[in-house]
Amino acid sequence: MSTKLAKGEPFFYYFSGVLLITVVFAFGMNILLRNYHLDSPMPLIIAHGIAMLLWYVILFWQTRQIRVNNLKNHMQVGLMTIVLAIIIIISGVMIAISNFKGEGEALTLFGNFSGLFVFGILYVFALKNRMQSAIHKRLMIVASIAMLSPALVRILRIFEINDFVTLPFWLLYMAALPIYDYKKFNKVHKTTLLATGFLLLILFGGAPIGMSEGWSSLMESIFRSN
């Protein structure tokens, strides 16, 4: 089969590559520099790390398959992501709870839960709309951005920068798809609006909950009472 780039919008191919590079750099540098703390069991961390890396590798691979017009392979590999998404969500929740037990950071726990929740919802809708390319690929990109915060936090920790500085960097990734839509179509695609709006609503709209005493007390009673 010819490998000539034939189909697909280049943005999704290159942007998925940027996401993969970000994740590899973030976790790779933290491992090399031993700039991490472990509150979760090592096997769980390894399983989650491998699943996360595979997600972004497959995302990049999938956009490549569309670019070379290999739709059959794209669809076959896409089915594998169902198991991968389940592993990411379950292991991510377990790690978030374990870290909360060790650190007691209720806001961080809310952020981790929110990111995984948005990822799961957008992924389900992406599967449901897998035959509608314009919708499917936008949902997959935004779902992947929803999980990006931990990687950005680790990049900042390499340079000993406060974790909260993650937000403006994360928003740059969020802005890329709407900007692309507007430049290409003179309007933002409806799916982009709905997906990014949903993500921002959950994270920012829910922030007062995550910072509240009620949330902290509830999480303490559930996960740190013993």
Least confident range from 27-36, 149-158, 198-207: namely 27-36
In this prediction, residue 1 carries a pLDDT of 37
Least confident range from 11-15, 24-28, 123-127, 209-213: namely 24-28
CA distance 175 to 196: 9
Q: What percent of the chain has pLDDT over 70?
A: 90
Instruction: Tell me how far CA of residue 48 lies from CA of 73, 80, 83, 169, in angstroms.
Output: 25, 16, 13, 23
pLDDT of residue 132 exceeding 50, the answer is: yes
- Model confidence pLDDT, tens digit, residues 166-220: 888 899 999 999 999 999 999 999 999 999 999 999 988 998 999 999 999 999 9
- Judged on CB neighbours under 10 Å (0-12, 13-18, 19+), 145 is buried
Least confident range from 53-57, 118-122, 149-153: namely 149-153
Task: Tell me whether residue 5 is in a domain.
Answer: no
Contact 111, 149 (CB under 8 A): yes
Task: Tell me whether residue 14 is in a domain.
Answer: yes
- Model confidence pLDDT, tens digit, residues 49-97: 889 999 999 999 999 998 888 888 888 888 889 999 999 999 999 999 9
Q: Average pLDDT of 2-11?
A: 60
Task: Tell me whether residue 4 is in a domain.
Answer: no
Tokens of 43: 């096997």
Average pLDDT over the chain, rounded to an integer: 87
Q: Average pLDDT of 129-153?
A: 92
Task: Tell me whether residue 175 is in a domain.
Answer: yes
- DSSP string of the chain, one letter each residue: ------SS-HHHHHHHHHHHHHHHHHHHHHHHHT-----S-HHHHHHHHHHHHHHHHHHHHHHHHHHTT-HHHHHHHHHHHHHHHHHHHHHHHHHHHHHHHHH--HHHHHHHHHHHHHHHHHHHHHHHTTT-HHHHHHHHHHHHHHT-HHHHHHHHHHTT--GGGHHHHHHHHHHHHHHHHHHHHSS--HHHHHHHHHHHIIIIISHHHHTSHHHHHHHHHHHS--
Task: Tell me whether residue 197 is in a domain.
Answer: yes
Give the pLDDT band of residue 2 (cuts 50, 70, 90): very low
Give the pLDDT band of residue 8 (cuts 50, 70, 90): low
Task: Tell me whether residue 26 is in a domain.
Answer: yes
In this prediction, residue 31 carries a pLDDT of 63
Q: Which of 31-40, 108-117, 175-184 has the highest mean pLDDT?
A: 175-184
pLDDT of residue 108 exceeding 80, the answer is: yes
Q: Model pTM?
A: 0.89
Task: Tell me whether residue 2 is in a domain.
Answer: no
Give the pLDDT band of residue 226 (cuts 50, 70, 90): low
pLDDT of residue 38 exceeding 70, the answer is: no
CA distance 45 to 48: 5
Task: Tell me whether residue 1 is in a domain.
Answer: no
Expressed as residue numbers, the domain containing 84 is 10-223
Looking at the structure of the chain, the number of domains it has is 1
